[in-house]
Amino acid sequence: MIDSKLILLGGFGRSGTTGIRELLRGHPDITSSKKSEFRMLTDPGGLISLKNVFVDNWTFWRGDHAIHEFNDFCKNLNSKWFGGYALSNFKVEFYGNFEEANKQLLDHLVLSSYNGIWGKHANIFNKSLSWLLNKKRLKLINRKIYITDPIDYSQFKKFTRDYFNTLIKKKLHNERASMYILDEPLISQNPKECIEITGANKLIIVLRDPRDVFQSFQGRDWSPKEKKHSLILLKSVYSYWLKKKKQLPEELYFELKFEDIANDFSKTYNELCLFLNIKHIPNILSQTNFNFKKAHIGRWKHELSMEEQEDLNNYFSELLALLGYQ
């Protein structure tokens, strides 16, 4: 069953998804995360990682590793101050339903567990210590090992769609909304799987001129330090979307150019409302803190030398044509 309560929102990193999320959050029927991206779909340790193991490539040890990785990932997302996803604080964001949804999913995937040490975590020290402690009936350094089974994709999709229904139930009720925007930048790289796993029937992909995204990459702690690596990365992720979107029915996705929402807001916003089948709110801009006029459209022209601009145009020439940029 396709679930119309979920709207997927993705891009390519620095392409403007935060601005579109904040715009749509101003609609009375829509809510989303207030501070952070979702990350649970495409990041390592998330739901697609579970699908890759339990549906496509299961072994006993892979199943155990996937559950541990998922648990660690969820702890990070639940943290207010610590870990790679600090400030996500999903416990508060989803009114306590994050833990409930995780437990519900793991109850489906885990058959049982026991304590022990297997190859990946074994070394001479802990094996020797484990032998000594076992002699004394102690299990202090043993690790929990999860027993799982492979599952078919239809069953996995049922589990994950139930997961999302549980996850957003209180949030929709408490914030008096009927739809939730799931904002995760790299949905663009696995769009078909993300739609199938969530049960969403609407996907928005925010396009932005790769030359502006390239310039926006500079100086970020997560982006390449050498510009040539940024070029390679951007060409890869944009090209992969162009390949992957061919797997989708056209009525399921909407490619929104960030430049269009900034330069012709009324027309583009109206098209977005029609796609989402939501009421057009005339004063929607007053409901958001994001200023589209200050979104650095065309910054590559102002911040790069003529020689650098020519190099960008040459490198991205084919990609720009496919994306509809001059």
Do 149 and 216 fall into the same domain? no
Structure-block tokens of residue 223 = 């982006």
Q: Are residues 149 and 121 in the same domain?
A: yes
Q: Are 191 and 140 found together in one domain?
A: no
- pLDDT surpassing 50 at residue 315: yes
Q: Which of 123, 155, 177 is the last residue of a domain?
A: 177
CATH number of the CATH domain containing 14 = 3.40.50.300
- Examine the fold and report which residue of 118, 148, 177 is the final residue of a domain before the chain moves on: 177
Question: What gap in Å lies between CA 324 and CA 36, rounded to an integer?
Answer: 30
> For residue 3, is pLDDT > 90?
no
pLDDT at residue 2 tops 50: no
Higher pLDDT, 137 or 233: 233
Half-sphere CA count of 280, side-chain side, radius 13 A = 11
For 121, the token pair is 């975590």
Question: 79-83, 121-125, 201-205 — which one is most confidently predicted on average?
Answer: 201-205
The string of pLDDT tens digits covering residues 153-175 is 999 999 999 999 999 999 999 99
Does residue 14 fall inside a structural domain?
yes
Measured in whole angstroms, the distance separating CA 145 from the mean position of its chain's CA atoms is 28
Question: In Å, what is the CA distance from 247 to each residue of 190, 251, 277?
Answer: 10, 12, 23
Residues 236 and 127 occupy one common structural domain: no
* Domain match, 173 and 298 both: no
Q: Residue 80's domain spans which residues?
A: 39-177
Same domain, 172 and 186: no
pLDDT confidence bin for 1, thresholds 50/70/90: very low
| Helices and strands in the chain: count of H runs, count of E runs | 14, 7
User: What pLDDT does residue 305 have?
Assistant: 96
Q: Is residue 68 part of a domain?
A: yes
End-to-end alpha carbon distance in the chain: 41
CA quadruple 167, 151, 67, 187: dihedral sign: negative
Which residues partner with 287 through β-bridges? none
Residue 137 has pLDDT above 70, yes or no: no
The answer to whether position 34 is within a domain reads no
Same domain, 161 and 236: no
**pLDDT in the model for residue 35:** 76
Question: Do 189 and 299 sit in the same domain of this protein?
Answer: yes
Residue 210 lies in a domain: yes
- Answer whether residue 13 is part of any domain: yes
Whether residues 101 and 160 fall in one domain: yes
Query: Does position 135 have pLDDT exceeding 60, yes or no?
Result: no
Same structural domain, 77 and 183: no
**What's the CA gap between 171 and 33, in Å, rounded?**
10
73 contact partners, CB below 8 Å, separation of at least 6: 40, 43, 44, 45, 46
Contact present, 19 and 211 (Cβ < 8 Å):
no
Is residue 317 one of the residues assigned to a domain?
Answer: yes
Give the number of domains in the chain: 2
- The verdict on 129 and 19 lying in the same domain is no
pLDDT value of position 144: 92
Of 298, 318, 292, 322, which is closest to residue 214 (Cα–Cα)? 298
Dihedral (Cα; 85, 89, 95, 101), 10-degree rounding: 30
Mean residue pLDDT across the chain: 90
12 domain residue, yes or no: yes
How confident is the model at residue 124, as a pLDDT? 55
A 10 A CB-CB count for 299 gives: 16
Look at 50-54, 127-131, 155-159, 311-315 and tell me which has the smallest mean pLDDT: 127-131
> For the segment 242-300, what is each residue's pLDDT rounded down to a tens digit?
999 999 999 999 999 999 999 999 999 999 999 999 999 999 988 787 777 667 899 99
The pLDDT, as a whole number, for residue 219 is 83
Q: Is residue 215 part of a domain?
A: yes
Q: Which of 208, 292, 253, 239 has the alpha carbon at shortest distance from 23?
A: 292
* H or E element, residue 182: strand 179-183
**How much of the chain exceeds pLDDT 70, in percent?**
88
Domain identity same for 7 and 116: no
Specify the amino acid at residue 220.
Answer: R
Which residue among 129, 145, 177 closes a domain?
Answer: 177
